[in-house]
Structure 1
Amino acid sequence: MNVVQAELGGEASPVANQVAMGAGNVPMGGARAVLRQYINIVRRWRWVILGVAGLCIVLGLIATLLATPLYTATSTIEISRESSQVTDFQGVERETSVYDQEFYQTQYGLLEAESLAERVVLKLRLVDDPEFYEMFGVVSDSPAFTLVNGRYPSEGRADRMRVASNLLLSSINIDPARLSRLVNISFTSPQPEFSARVANAWAESFIQANLDRKVQATSYGRDQLEQQLTQYKEQLDESQRQLVAYAANEQIINLPSQTGEGNDSSQDRSLVVDQLASLNQALSRATADRIQAESRARQTSAGGASTEALVNPALNNLRQRRAELAAEYGQLMVRFEPGYPAAQAIQSQLDQIDQAIAAEESRISRSLGSEYRAALAREQSLRENVAQLKNSFLDLQRRSIQYNIYQQEVDTNRELYDGLLQRFKEIGVAGGIGVNNIAIIDLADVPQSPSSPNLILNMLISLVLGMGLGAGIAYLLELNDESIADPEEVTNRLDLALLGTIPISEDEEPKEALLDPKSDLVDAYLAIQTSLALTTQHGLPKSLTVTSTRPAEGKSTTSLALAALLARSGKKVILIDGDMRSPSVHHLIGTDNQHGLSNFLSGEDSLDGMVLDVPKYGMSAMSSGPIPPNAAELLSGDRLTLLLDRLLETYDHVIIDSPPVMGLADAPLIASRVEAAVYVIESHGTKSVQIKTAVGRLRATNARILGAVLTKYDNSKAYSGYNYDYGYGYGRDQSPQAA
């Protein structure tokens, strides 16, 4: 059960049930049915909806005509992400960052700040202007707004400032243009000139406020940096003096570094390091020279020809001369003996040359030995010097630890000082240029026509609101309507079989329509007669009562129709008016009510004068008779059963028009005496809760309820759009166009 149903204390309508189920769970066919139901609700309550819409339109028209004309002036400004960097050679415009959205939202908030409103109030001198407060309808008993000699007192200036700024803020509208840096500043007031003044003053004040914030920030930053620069300059000077004093005391001498010398050209080199590097290079060369001299000396001492001997010109000349003499001596030995004088002379020259060669080689050997010893001595001397410098270097390293600490402190202080100095220069340049990142694109013009009230727009809004409100009221009325509106509800909500539906007749009286065999009313009751014929094994029940929940639901018409149609089909039928409290059958058949059912129940046995023939319907009828003071007591006896038995001996069917069930005991008493009962329900009439209670009373007496007949059915008010014209027009006279 949904909330609306629980509040109303009954069952919800099908529309409410569909809404409770949720549109997502309704299949395609169900969705069409729900749409049809909504359309039918609109058709049913269309006058309510149109009335509410008309009322809203009238109220909107009255409000529009009585409203004070307001004028809106708009100025346009451009807000850049940051002011142009004129001194930056890499580019003038700043690249877009991920913080742009945050920046612009901040600017929009600043445009609606109370401080900006106070700037505009002071700029336009509104705080002491009585016409300004009168224009906005400010009425206050506060002393701040009490005029003294035509002027406001100075004591309440703060209160008036607050009120004036709130008035401006309530009438200002900040509208950023989508996907751009433009912002529209609109102000609305009853005076067009004043609206333009405020809109332009708002833009100008915002630019001035932005510049003031920048100047304040720059001035504060310069002061802070200047103090820090002084502090870091003192620290740098102190650390430099400390470094120089320590180097002098420890005799640490560093030479300026040279470009390309080593991997780190930013650090100075100590004198010991340079000397050690030079001695290492000299030692390397001396070692190479010693190894080479030693190799040549060993080669000479081993009897081999040294390189110097092989390349010595004098020695090579001697060897060449000895070879020539040895050749001549060999030729002489071919022809002469060794004692030959010429041969002996050559032999003597060969001996002298050999002595000269031996002397030269001995000299070369002694020279190589001297070179080797000199190279060895030089190498040893360099090694000693290198060892001494290594010790000096290690001592320097030990003493340079503290020196490096002082040097690092100097470097750190210098970097901090240089960075602050550069920042100080940048702030000075930026502050000197004074470029603003906000510019006015369009100044506000004096509006020539009011922006509100807009008659057409207000009428459209009133129409939409009226239609929506009317639809809501119609829906609430529909939810509150627990009557049976749809044929399907008879089965679903009342657990009764639907015997048929009787359309509403507006053109003619039902009793007249029953005389026309081709009328819609006759067709509908023929369908009900067919349904009743299938309810028992012997066809239509012999004794039948027709009742309803309350009066005027159509039970008497239904009783008359069933009796007339059965009589027309050849059955012998009698209609009894069982409603002895408010009889109506005698009006339908056009007779009096002087003698009838109440007479028989009171003890008269003769039916003469009680049973009347109704020729136009082809049936018999018994009126209710005089209205008794105790109808329930008469019905509670056995006389009704006796009457039914006597009539069924003569008639095929006895139909009783029973009184309504609610509040009376008559209908349950009659239903307990007959074979079956038919329950009549007025469409959009009785609430379903009352119908259920009445049906429960009938079933408590063991009455057999065959089903229900839905009367006065209007297809335009139904949920499902059940069309009861289908088939009823078959065989009727048609217009020439239809034919």
Structure 2
Amino acid sequence: MDTKDPSLDRRWTPPRVADEEVDKIDPLQLWHTVWRRKLSILSLVLVVTMLTTLVVLSITPIYRAIATLLIEQRSAKVVSIEQVYGLEGSGQEYLQTQFQLLRSRSLAERVVRELELTTHPEFDPLQQPEPLVNIKGLLGHLSFLNALSITLPEHLEEEAAPTEAQRFDQVTRAFMERINVEPERRTQLARIQVDMADARMATRAANALARGYIESQLEASMEMSMTATNWMNSRLGELRDKLKDAEDRLQAYREQENLVDVQGVATVTANELSLTGDRMIDARRQRAEAESQYRQVQSMRSGGWEKLATVPAVLGHPLIQQFKADEARARAKVEELSKRYGPRHPNMESARTELQAATASLRGQVEQIVAGIERNYQLAIANESSLRASFDANKAQIQDISRKEFRLRELQREVDTNRALYDTFMSRLKETAATSDLETANARVVDEATVPATPVKPRKALIVGIAGLLALFVGIGLALLLEALNNTFKSTEDVETKLNLPVLGILPLVKGRAERARIARLFQANTDKGFAESMRTVRTSLVLADMSEPHKRIVVTSSIPGEGKSSVSSNLAYALAQVGETVLLLDADMRRPMLAKNFELPVGTPGLANLIAGNARLEDCIRHLDGVDLISAGTVPPDPLELLSSPRFAALLDTLSARYSRIIIDSPPTQAVSDPVVLGTLADALIYVIKSESTPTPLAVKGVGQLLQHNAPVTGVVLNHVDIKKAQKYGYRYGGYYDYYGYSTQKA
């Protein structure tokens, strides 16, 4: 007979919460979480506050002395020595430099020496109080260290006393850590702060720092003046030597080159070169003219003197024209006489003689003029060559004079430069010597430090308040963290949300160390009113769940052992028997049977294993216990799952179902074995027991999922071992009915 609901034939998955619900933070839930652990949080805050108060009260108070200093930028001086060193500052960089000088080690050493801080109790470890815990002495009394031959670390052994230099260095570094310089914004004021346990010494130290800074600036200025003066003297000697050397080289060069006035010599030579150039141009022109006449003559020389007489240069000569006129007259006379006389006539001969004489004279004059042209040409060439040589000589002379002038000017410039530099340094040196006593300090004390009346630290109230506030935050954070890490079921809402199953009821935690037999009969004994009422609620929920068809075979299981499933099974059996039903309590947990122990049955009592194996009769295995019949597990078999899976077990259940109206089956846990799955397939209903604030959620989800995936009829969940007082104090609610009736009855 299959009485299972077909709707259960599906795969079960745990409920999924919408993304917006996951991201949503419930402030009320957070408040309940914090409120549940309020005592722990307040205890943490109280302890931390008390410890902080003790620590703060044990801290030595520190006083702060403040001296105000005005730092002025250096004004323009007659001589700026800082220009030599590049120390002339202006603006914010200059002020920042002065602030760093106030924090310098040299100034701190000056104050340490002046105030003799090396002997002050605050810096002398020999005069300081003993520590609250002497680690070395404590370890020295541990005798087992000596027994185990354990030696102390070297840093715990007594150290050698520091030298005077080391002691001074330690005090200086410690004093520098107590100095602070704070510039006032948009001003030239600096606040020198010294923090010490000795208020008067802090005041003296702050004033000493201010005075020491001013004195150190004056000393540094005087030292720079002396250094600059010495340097300028040495530099002046070098410049004097350079000037003397330059002047000697200039004079030696003048004497070597016999220079008196280079500028005048260069001017005369330039004029001569200009005149020679003009003459050379005329000579070149004359030579060209003579060369032209000469070449005309040479071209006509082969034609005799008659051709030469036709050359323009010859023909244009006045004598040639005169001789040619005489020849023409003589020739005309001969021609005229030849018409009247014969060739031998004396007049003809006389005329021919005159003609010959005129021709000879013309010829002689032509040859003489041609010879003159040739001589003029040679003279023109010679003249031009002579002028060119003179011009080249003048040009070379001018170039030589220019080179000498350039060298002379170079030497003169070197002399002038050295003389100007020497004169400048001489003037600066005299001015420095004249104004060296005009140095003034660039700072002055505006407000001297006064003895502080109240300490600046520790700020006890603030420290204690911050510590308490941090402790409160840490406590709240730890509470929320523990709540997040507590992945168990704490309320019915957790069960319904995480398992998507109804809660049949909750069973309160039984206080005290109750015996198993008493817990198994707790409902029947009716000594705990709250537990009895809770059990009736479970019974009612189970009965109402099977109105259409009664659930006869009811399996009770859990995730892991120790969650109270056996106690729930026995008390549920008594609750059902109270309403007049015939109930059989069957122990199917044959691996760790508990019902026989709970009801104190004798060892060897036959039970379920014996019935299935056929080694005992049914009547011999049934025990009658105050209205409830019980069949224990019997002799534990080597393979219980094989027996529960056999047809004989199914037939036995059919037989028992015909005899009893309810069969409560105590099943093994789901995470231990597979027996609950087999029993679930034969059951009409299955109750899953979860131990409050103990059962991990993943185990319950896995166990319920395994049952539903094999079509087990999981009816609901019973939340067991609920601490009602603690839950209500922590803000958990389990339904108005039990909160009002169950808990009120329990208190009554």
TM-score (norm 1): 0.56
Is the 8 Å Cα contact of residues 555 and 667 (structure 2) preserved in structure 1?
no
Offset at 1:421?
5.4
Match of 1:77 among 69, 72, 75: 69
2:50 pairs with 1:58:
yes
Offset at 1:651?
6.1
Q: Cα–Cα, structure 1 residues 205 and 30, in superposed 2: closer, same or farther, change >3 Å?
A: farther
Equivalences for residues 68-467 of structure 1 within 5 A: 68-79=60-71, 82-86=73-77, 96=91, 99=93, 104=96, 107-128=98-119, 133=124, 136-137=128-129, 157-177=164-184, 181-247=188-254, 249-250=256-257, 252=259, 270-271=263-264, 393-414=398-419, 416-417=421-422, 420=425, 432-467=437-472
Q: Cα–Cα, structure 1 residues 503 and 234, in superposed 2: closer, same or farther, change >3 Å?
A: farther
Is the 8 Å Cα contact of residues 691 and 719 (structure 2) preserved in structure 1?
yes
Q: How far apart in 2 are the matches of 1:44 and 1:598?
A: 48
Offset at 1:500?
5.0
- Percent identity between the two aligned chains: 25
Is the 8 Å Cα contact of residues 660 and 667 (structure 1) preserved in structure 2?
yes
Q: SS state of the match for residue 74, structure 2?
A: coil
Q: Cα–Cα, structure 1 residues 541 and 405, in superposed 2: closer, same or farther, change >3 Å?
A: farther
Offset at 1:466?
2.0
Q: How far apart in 1 are the matches of 2:617 and 2:266?
A: 154
Is the 8 Å Cα contact of residues 557 and 670 (structure 2) preserved in structure 1?
no
1:656 counterpart letter in structure 2: I
Q: Cα–Cα, structure 1 residues 679 and 725, in superposed 2: closer, same or farther, change >3 Å?
A: closer
1:711 counterpart letter in structure 2: L
Q: Cα–Cα, structure 1 residues 251 and 84, in superposed 2: closer, same or farther, change >3 Å?
A: same
Offset at 1:449?
1.9
Equivalences for residues 12-51 of structure 1 within 5 A: 32-33=24-25, 42-51=34-43
Q: How far apart in 2 are the matches of 1:461 and 1:228?
A: 67
Q: How far apart in 1 are the matches of 2:569 and 2:184?
A: 72
Q: How far apart in 2 are the matches of 1:34 and 1:417?
A: 90
Partner of 1:547: 558
Q: How far apart in 2 are the matches of 1:557 and 1:56?
A: 45
Partner of 1:605: 618
Partner of 1:645: 654
Q: How far apart in 2 are the matches of 1:225 and 1:654?
A: 121
Is the 8 Å Cα contact of residues 546 and 678 (structure 1) preserved in structure 2?
yes
Q: How far apart in 1 are the matches of 2:492 and 2:170?
A: 65
Q: Cα–Cα, structure 1 residues 404 and 476, in superposed 2: closer, same or farther, change >3 Å?
A: farther
Q: Cα–Cα, structure 1 residues 114 and 231, in superposed 2: closer, same or farther, change >3 Å?
A: same
Q: How far apart in 2 are the matches of 1:488 and 1:434?
A: 88
Deviation string, structure 1 residues 411-452 (Cα, Å, up to 9, x no partner)? 443455466557657866885443444443332211112333
Q: How far apart in 1 are the matches of 2:503 and 2:664?
A: 18
Q: SS state of the match for residue 618, structure 2?
A: coil
Q: Cα–Cα, structure 1 residues 429 and 565, in superposed 2: closer, same or farther, change >3 Å?
A: farther
Q: How far apart in 2 are the matches of 1:514 and 1:560?
A: 7
Q: How far apart in 1 are the matches of 2:392 and 2:78?
A: 59
Partner of 1:512: 533
Unaligned stretches of 5+ residues in structure 1: 1-25, 146-155, 255-268, 284-384, 587-591, 614-620, 733-739
1:74 counterpart letter in structure 2: I
Q: How far apart in 2 are the matches of 1:584 and 1:83?
A: 105
Q: Cα–Cα, structure 1 residues 276 and 470, in superposed 2: closer, same or farther, change >3 Å?
A: farther
Quick check: 604-613 or 240-249, which moved more?
604-613
Offset at 1:463?
0.9
Bigger radius of gyration, 1 or 2? 2
TM-score (norm 2): 0.55
Q: How far apart in 2 are the matches of 1:548 and 1:675?
A: 20
Partner of 1:681: 690
Q: SS state of the match for residue 223, structure 1?
A: helix
Deviation string, structure 1 residues 605-649 (Cα, Å, up to 9, x no partner)? 249764876xxxxxxx55576x97859988975686555323433
1:186 counterpart letter in structure 2: Q
Q: How far apart in 2 are the matches of 1:542 and 1:39?
A: 44
Unaligned stretches of 5+ residues in structure 2: 1-17, 81-87, 132-156, 277-389, 510-527, 611-615, 742-748
Is the 8 Å Cα contact of residues 557 and 688 (structure 2) preserved in structure 1?
yes
1:459 counterpart letter in structure 2: V
Offset at 1:402?
1.8
Is the 8 Å Cα contact of residues 276 and 389 (structure 1) preserved in structure 2?
yes
Q: How far apart in 1 are the matches of 2:533 and 2:597?
A: 14
Q: How far apart in 2 are the matches of 1:28 and 1:274?
A: 108
1:192 counterpart letter in structure 2: A
Q: How far apart in 2 are the matches of 1:27 and 1:412?
A: 90
Q: How far apart in 2 are the matches of 1:84 and 1:716?
A: 84
Q: How far apart in 1 are the matches of 2:267 and 2:403?
A: 17
Is the 8 Å Cα contact of residues 679 and 705 (structure 1) preserved in structure 2?
no
Q: How far apart in 1 are the matches of 2:424 and 2:735?
A: 96
1:645 counterpart letter in structure 2: D
Q: Cα–Cα, structure 1 residues 277 and 33, in superposed 2: closer, same or farther, change >3 Å?
A: farther
2:466 counterpart letter in structure 1: I
Q: Cα–Cα, structure 1 residues 474 and 249, in superposed 2: closer, same or farther, change >3 Å?
A: same
Deviation string, structure 1 residues 108-145 (Cα, Å, up to 9, x no partner)? 55444443332111111233456863665599988869
1:605 counterpart letter in structure 2: L
Q: Cα–Cα, structure 1 residues 593 and 132, in superposed 2: closer, same or farther, change >3 Å?
A: closer
Q: Cα–Cα, structure 1 residues 271 and 585, in superposed 2: closer, same or farther, change >3 Å?
A: farther
Partner of 2:350: none
Offset at 1:54?
1.4
Q: SS state of the match for residue 512, structure 1?
A: helix
Offset at 1:242?
2.0
Is the 8 Å Cα contact of residues 194 and 206 (structure 2) preserved in structure 1?
yes
Offset at 1:203?
2.6
Q: How far apart in 2 are the matches of 1:660 and 1:249?
A: 128
